[in-house]
Every structure is written in structure tokens, then in C-alpha cells.
A = this chain, B = another copy of it.
Amino acid sequence: MTAKANPVPSVWARQQSAPDQPALSRASIVREAIVMLDADGIEALSMRKLGARLNAGATSLYRHVATKDELMELAVDEVAAEFTVPPPGSPWRAAVTEAAVSFRATALGHPWLSAVLGQAGLAYLGPNLMAYSERLAALFSDAGFPEPSRAIDTVLSYVIGMSTTEAAWLITVTRSGKTEGDLIASLMPAAQQAAAGHDHLAGAYADAAVHAPVDPVALRDEKFFYGLDVVLDGLEMRLPR
């Protein structure tokens, strides 16, 4: 604010609620926060930078959001809108697989999600997460599971664990600036040295080095579906015939 208030009441001088930027609302704040989180990771998001992006001062955000933690909760539930569960009536195994795949996809697309969930867990009661849980519950109880909530917890734990590990790896890849394959290659010497004396690990690394040219993405996909099928097989055994 270098120039003091201009006494000329020109209509043109007055900006009518900022033409491009839609004011400054809770929704726009959350949306832009997610953009920043996706682009630069969880530690690049600060209230000041976020305010700057919205053509607003840092502290203005607090008119719409109580605290940064609350903002993160809102961001989590916002991306949780991407979770999908097929409608009731679908064959349960395919349906659960799709629900798991959609969770993993958004966790990998927003790698900060896992970190936030790891710090605060499922105390979040946002509407989108609730809807996801509800539809999962409907799915499992329609399928005839005697303890639907147990089944849900089991498959969600697996999916969360695997996705968290994958997301953390993706963050490392992004930070390194290399491609996934190059980073693996550059990490191999250290890994092999650390595995010295550990016969099984050393063998596994040696095998991995041989099959190095395999597409890392396809390999991760295969790993995910292998474990998911294991879990679903175990659950299927508990389905009364």
C-alpha cells in the first residue's frame, strides 16, 4: 500500500470483486492448496505462499479456515471425492477391486495424502470419506459377509499400507529428479552393499538387477494386485456358502 487512498471515485479504478479470481472462499482456498500440494509436496505448502497464489495476504485465509490442520482435513476429504465404489449389485470381488484401485490411484496421484493420513488417521469425518465407507459397507454386506466391518478394515489396511509405501517411494523419485528406473539403478550399489551378509536379500537384489529393464510401473501394479488377490482370497473363505 504505497499510494494512499485515491479520492477520485472512478468506476474504472475500482475492481469489481476481481474478475478472474473468484473472491476468496473456503472452496477456492482448498482447491488451490491441493494444486500446490500436488505440484510441490507437503512441505512446500505454507499459508503465506498459498495466500500469495490467491492474490491475498497470508492471514486473510484465517477468515475461512480455522487452522492449517483444518485446511489439510478439508483437502483430504476433497481428494477423497475421487474414491469410487461400484453400485450395489455388482459382483463383489470386481467391485472391491475397483474400490481398492481407485483408492490407490488417488493416493499415488496425491502423494501427500498418505503422509497426512499417517499423521492424523481416520479421525476425519468428512462427507466424501463417509460416503466411501458407506458404499463399501453396503458392498460387503450385500455380498453376504457376516462381519462386513472386519472385512472392510482388512482390505483397507492392506490398500493403505501398500499405497503409503508406494507414495513415499514416488515422492523420493520426484525429489531425485530422475526417472524411476534411473533412481533404482543409482541406488543399487548402496542397496547391494547394505545387503552384504544377508543372503536372501542379496539374492533378491541380484535377481532385480537382472530383470532391471522391466517397466517399474508395471512391476508395482503386479505387486499391488498380487497382494490384493491374496487378501480377497482370504476373505472369500469367510463367505458362507
| Residues in A lying within 8 Å of B, measured CB to CB | 42, 114-115, 117-123, 125, 127, 130-131, 133-134, 137-138, 141, 147-151, 153-154, 156-162, 164-165, 167-169, 171-172, 190-191, 194-195, 198-201, 204, 223, 226-227, 229-235, 237-238
Contacts and interface: CB of A to CB of B under 8 A. Distances in A.
B223 A230 contact: no
Contacts of A194: 125, 127, 130
B168 A198 contact: no
Given A165-B160, A200-B138, A150 B226 contact: yes
A179 to B, nearest CB: 16
Contacts of A165: 121-122, 157, 160
Residue in A154, A230, A235, A238 whose Cβ sees the most chain B Cβ within 10 Å: A230
A153 B225 CA distance: 11
Contact of A172 (B123, B133, B148, B161): B123
A230 B154 contact: yes
Contact of A235 (B150, B200, B230): B230
This protein's copies in its complex: 2
Given A141-B200, A161-B157, A121 B169 contact: yes
Contacts of A138: 199-200
Given A125-B191, A234-B233, A200 B119 contact: no
Contact of A168 (B123, B159, B162, B237): B123
Contacts of A130: 194-195, 198, 201
A201 B130 CA distance: 8
Contact of A230 (B42, B118, B141, B238): B238
Given A121-B168, A137-B200, A229-B234, 15 more contacts: A114-B118, A115-B115, A121-B165, A125-B191, A130-B198, A133-B201, A134-B195, A141-B200, A150-B223, A153-B162, A153-B226, A154-B230, A154-B231, A157-B158, A160-B161
